[in-house]
Every structure is written in C-alpha cells, then in structure tokens.
C-alpha cells in the first residue's frame, strides 16, 4: 500500500488543514510537513494542499473542546517549528478520536509525549524571555527590544508586555525570523524593520550609535555598573551560569555586552 506525504504552506491553518484531511483519508500516512522544509524522496506519493481556514478552525475547535492540553499541543507544537510536528499531531488526533480527551495523557505514546515536550519547551522559553528582553529607548521615546528565541514566541512575549508596558510605545523584534511587532498603546500589529538597521543589530548586538541617545547610554552604563556591583567574583562559575542561561541568549543582554 502506498504511503502518502501531505504538504502544506507552513502556516498554522495549513498544518491543521493537512492533519484534518489526512485523518479523514483511508490512506497510509507517512508524514505531514511544511512544503518549504521538506526534502522529497523518490518513492514518496505527495499531496500538496492549499490551506482551508474553515477546516482548520473546525479541527482546532474540536481540540479545544477536548481539553486545554490538546489545543496547547497543537499551537505550541507549531510555534516550536519542529519539522515533524504535523506528523505527531496527526497521530494524536487519531488517538483522540479513538479514546477521547484521555488520549492527551497517554505519555507512553511517542507522538503525545513528543508534543508535550515541545509545548513545555515553548512555554518555558516564552517565560524565560519575559525576563531577558532588554528595551532600548530611541530619541522619540519609542522603545525597541531585539531578541533571537529558538521558538516562535514573539506573540507570547508581546502579550506579556502589552500588560507591563501598556502606556508605552514599543517594538519587539525577533531577528532570527525578522518578525517585528509594534504596540502603539492601543493596537498590536506587524511592521517591517529597515534592512540596514536589522543587519547592524545582528552584527553588533546593539542599536546604531546614531540612534543611541545620551539618556539611553546613561541608563545602559548604570545597568552595567549595577550588574557588576552585585556580582560576587569569588563565587564566579561560568559553567554554572551557562547552564542556567545558555550563552546563545547573551547577545542582546546589555549587561553582557562589555
């Protein structure tokens, strides 16, 4: 019997639609992947799908009505950007249709355990970055924060800062995906960032000197002085520091940019 590969456009709706179509089919499914990240095999039978938002919403509502875990596995799994997440979600939905909501607690099942791991990874990184993101203040008062998370968590972080900095204008910029969100005190929306500005941030880990006001420079120096003052050099343990805060997160931390 032929094994089928379902390919989607890489969107969340596209993934859910592909899962729904695969579950409804009587075909033997080998995998569900985003088309732009899939390397075809000579003997694969591929089915390319155009996202159907209505079908995707029906599946997501089904998962949401099952329990919080089911919808969380789907959404956080997608945000993890794991290339296998569509396939694992397909097997989870098959189990849910057979066993109901209790299927999401079957951690002996490879796919459900994997989705749970991905979901926890996304939630942990989003929580971590709410304390690691550092805003810079431009001359017009606009605040800007660059970061490079492993997972696509900019939405979670933006929701956090909508509450914490609701009376300020700010930009969150995920440089790994070149995705930026702007909060104008009332609405959160996607914006484009100048290419030269983005390149400078990626190369130097800091905004250009032309955008660095004397006030911002003063506060950065003050923060670095505070960070140095509270450190106990006699108990310095860089290996332990990297264990709790991996070095890949240091690039945009003002206090680590000596």
pLDDT band at 24 (very low <50, low <70, confident <90, very high): very high
Say whether pTM exceeds 0.85.
yes
DSSP 208: -
Instruction: Tell me the C-alpha distance between 45 and 19, whole Å.
Output: 16
The sign one gets for the Cα dihedral 64, 70, 76, 78 is: negative
Average pLDDT, whole number, for the chain? Answer: 93
* CA–centroid distance for 189 within its chain: 17
Q: What is the pLDDT of residue 19?
A: 97
**pLDDT tens string 91-121:** 999 999 999 999 999 999 999 999 999 999 9
Instruction: Tell me the C-alpha distance between 32 and 86, whole Å.
Output: 5
Is the model's pLDDT at 189 over the cut of 90?
A: yes
Is the model's pLDDT at 210 over the cut of 70?
A: yes
Phi, psi of 206 (to 5 degrees): -150, 155
Is the model's pLDDT at 42 over the cut of 80?
A: no
Instruction: Tell me the C-alpha distance between 160 and 166, whole Å.
Output: 10
Is the model's pLDDT at 1 over the cut of 70?
A: no
Rounded mean pLDDT, 210-231: 89
How many residues would you count in the chain? 258
Q: What is the pLDDT of residue 186?
A: 94
Q: DSSP 3-state assignment of 175?
A: coil
Q: Sheet holding 143-147: strands in order across?
A: 136-137, 143-147, 170-174, 179-183, 188-191
Phi, psi of 143 (to 5 degrees): -105, 140
Task: Give the start-to-end residue ranges of the domains of the chain.
Answer: 3-124, 133-256
Name the residue with tokens 């695969």: 22
Rounded mean pLDDT, 119-132: 96
Rounded mean pLDDT, 230-256: 84
Could you tell me the two tokens for 196? Answer: 């030269």
* CA–centroid distance for 183 within its chain: 18
Is the model's pLDDT at 258 over the cut of 80?
A: no
């Amino acid at each position: 019997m032929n094994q089928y590969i379902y390919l989607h456009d890489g969107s969340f709706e596209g993934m859910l639609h592909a899962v729904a179509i695969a579950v409804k089919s009587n075909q033997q499914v080998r995998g569900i992947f985003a088309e732009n990240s899939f390397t075809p095999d000579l003997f694969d039978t591929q089915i390319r799908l155009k996202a159907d938002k209505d079908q995707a919403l029906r599946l997501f509502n089904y998962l949401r009505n099952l329990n919080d875990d089911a919808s969380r596995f789907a959404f956080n799994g997608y945000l993890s950007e794991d290339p296998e997440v569509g396939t694992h979600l397909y097997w989870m939905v098959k189990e849910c249709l057979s066993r109901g909501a209790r299927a999401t607690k079957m951690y002996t099942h490879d796919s459900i355990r994997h989705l749970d791991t991905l979901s926890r990874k996304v939630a942990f990184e989003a929580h971590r970055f709410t304390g690691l993101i550092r805003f810079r203040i431009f001359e017009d008062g606009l605040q800007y924060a660059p970061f490079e998370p492993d997972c696509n968590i900019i939405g979670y972080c933006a929701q956090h800062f909508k509450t914490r900095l609701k009376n300020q204008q700010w930009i969150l910029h995920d440089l790994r995906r070149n995705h930026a969100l702007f909060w104008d005190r009332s609405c959160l929306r996607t914006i484009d960032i100048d290419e030269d500005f983005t390149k400078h941030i990626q190369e130097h880990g800091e905004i250009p000197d032309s955008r660095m006001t004397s006030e911002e420079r003063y506060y950065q120096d003050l923060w670095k002085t505070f960070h140095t003052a509270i450190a106990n050099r006699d108990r310095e343990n860089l290996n332990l520091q990297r264990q709790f805060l991996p070095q890949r997160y240091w690039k945009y931390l003002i206090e680590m940019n000596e």
